[in-house]
Amino acid sequence: MSVIRLKGQADRRLRAGHQWIYSNEVDTSATPLKQFTPGDQVVVETAQGKPLGIATINPNTLICGRLVSRSKDTFLNKSTLVHRIKIALSLRELTYPAPYYRLVFGDSDGLSGLVVDRFADILVVQISTAGMERVKNEIVEALQDVLKPSAILMKNDGKMRQIEGLETYVEEAFGTVPELVFLQENGVLFQAPVWDGQKTGWFYDHRENRKTMQGYCDGKRVLDVFSYIGGWGVQAASAGATDVTFIDASESALSHVDENLKLNQYEGGSNLMHGDAFEAMQSLIEDKERFDVVVMDPPAFIARRKDIKAGEGAYHRANQLAMRLVAKGGILVSGSCSMHLETGRLHDIIRSNSRQLERFSQLIYRGTQAPDHPVHPAIEETEYLKAMFYRIHNNMGL
């Protein structure tokens, strides 16, 4: 096989367990990256010529290599895919009795660039790297061998594909995939728009945090900001909330909220607010509305490191508006899916808002991503999700 040779000391991070190779770590005088085609598999060597394993290569990206194995005899092929998907499946079946979960979570399951969400016998696949795109057919075959699904949807329209130089597309790889698929989470039923919804159509990562949230909702008024199709709010309704208000910029998403409420035979009150979340919250404040539970789970305001300052400002403003809507003694759930926003910084933002608004806040629960989104201990990028629950009081003179 072809070889890439690393610069001196560039192997330290890989030896510590990481799986990525940056282009500035490659000795391009010895092994020029331009000789490779995106998706090629190569042997990775130390500066001294000692093999470290096999990696897929994309010479046109900052992360130019992704380790497939630490053996020079194990390649990314159908056999490797079947083996690792079986291992991933065993974790999910150990954790969740029903077949609704993230089946494959990229690097954390040894399959960098591959995400698979399971909706019973329907699978939704996202490929984000050239290496995985090269073995797309093998991925479909491996999933068929391991799970015997009725249908597989390729939802390959993510931003990472543009960085990798890949075309975007959404297509059936096998069988017939309906526009909406059923799922169950924490005993609540949903229909998710897998063809034209966000990501794979659903976000399994907050499932444990939503379960915790349900314990605070019986007999309460709940506000779900950036609701999408109602992952938080519909579960609050099913947990006994008297009325739930949903805010989202997508009319289509809100129409799915309404259908998911009906699916669970919710008989309480509901208010679907279409529009900018910041403007909608300001309107509720002016109307002197207050809620016992406010969920603030926005999209990633910090996509890249250079966005940190502006993104933290957006989190500050969003949480300040949300805090103003929390009734005395109520609960604020503050979520973030921005990997670049540290948990401590989110806590600082809530603390700062508490002082500015003269509120007394108490952190009562700190949540992270569900077990079907396992964290690779050597790859900090795989730990991204945060959910902080605060009890909010009016200023008690403290």
E strand intervals along the chain: 3-5, 20-22, 40-45, 51-57, 63-69, 100-105, 114-119, 122-127, 151-156, 169-174, 180-185, 188-193, 221-225, 243-248, 269-274, 291-296, 326-336, 359-367, 386-394
Q: Examine the domain organization and report whether 51 and 111 are in the same domain.
A: no
Other residues' Cβ atoms within 10 Å of the Cβ of residue 231: 24
Please say if the pLDDT value at position 194 is more than 90.
yes
Determine the structural domain holding residue 114 and report its residue range: 78-177
pLDDT-derived band at 255, boundaries 50, 70, 90: very high
| pLDDT tens by residue, 84-118 | 999 999 999 999 999 999 999 999 999 999 999 99
Q: End of a domain among 129, 150, 177?
A: 177
pLDDT of residue 170: 97
Q: Examine the domain organization and report whether 231 and 311 are in the same domain.
A: yes
Q: Examine the domain organization and report whether 208 and 339 are in the same domain.
A: yes
State the chain's mean pLDDT as an integer.
96
- Which DSSP letter does residue 6 get? B
Q: Examine the domain organization and report whether 311 and 369 are in the same domain.
A: yes
Q: Examine the domain organization and report whether 343 and 304 are in the same domain.
A: yes
Q: Examine the domain organization and report whether 295 and 386 are in the same domain.
A: yes
- State percent of the chain over pLDDT 70: 99
Q: What number is the average pLDDT over the span 240-266?
A: 97
pLDDT-derived band at 398, boundaries 50, 70, 90: low
- Which DSSP letter does residue 376 get? P
Please say if the pLDDT value at position 266 is more than 80.
yes
Q: End of a domain among 69, 96, 116?
A: 69
Q: Examine the domain organization and report whether 168 and 147 are in the same domain.
A: yes
Please say if the pLDDT value at position 15 is more than 90.
yes
Q: End of a domain among 177, 210, 243?
A: 177
Q: What number is the average pLDDT over the span 353-364?
A: 95
Structure tokens at 196: 């034209």
Q: Examine the domain organization and report whether 172 and 209 are in the same domain.
A: no
Taking the C-alpha atoms of residue 74 and residue 55, their distance in angstroms, rounded to an integer, is 10
pLDDT of residue 74: 94
Q: Examine the domain organization and report whether 274 and 381 are in the same domain.
A: yes
Q: Examine the domain organization and report whether 99 and 57 are in the same domain.
A: no
E strand intervals along 175-309: 180-185, 188-193, 221-225, 243-248, 269-274, 291-296
User: The domain spanning residue 10 has which CATH number?
Assistant: 2.30.130.10
Q: Examine the domain organization and report whether 200 and 295 are in the same domain.
A: yes
pLDDT of residue 396: 72
User: The domain spanning residue 161 has which CATH number?
Assistant: 3.30.750.80
pTM: 0.95
The answer to whether 263 touches 191, Cβ cutoff 8 Å, is yes
The answer to whether 278 touches 317, Cβ cutoff 8 Å, is yes
pLDDT of residue 303: 86
Taking the C-alpha atoms of residue 296 and residue 277, their distance in angstroms, rounded to an integer, is 10
The answer to whether 266 touches 276, Cβ cutoff 8 Å, is no
| pLDDT tens by residue, 149-187 | 999 999 999 899 999 999 999 999 999 999 999 999 999
Q: How many domains does the chain have?
A: 3
Q: Which of 147, 146, 138, 225 is nearest to 173 (CA)?
A: 138
pLDDT of residue 394: 85
Q: Are strands 122-127 and 151-156 parallel, antiparallel or unpaired?
A: parallel
Find how far residue 42's CA is from the centre of its chain.
30
Q: Which of 130, 132, 105, 133 is nearest to 117 (CA)?
A: 105
Taking the C-alpha atoms of residue 177 and residue 181, their distance in angstroms, rounded to an integer, is 8
User: The domain spanning residue 380 has which CATH number?
Assistant: 3.40.50.150
| pLDDT tens by residue, 122-134 | 999 999 999 999 9
| pLDDT tens by residue, 62-82 | 999 999 999 989 999 999 999
pLDDT of residue 397: 65
Q: Examine the domain organization and report whether 155 and 200 are in the same domain.
A: no
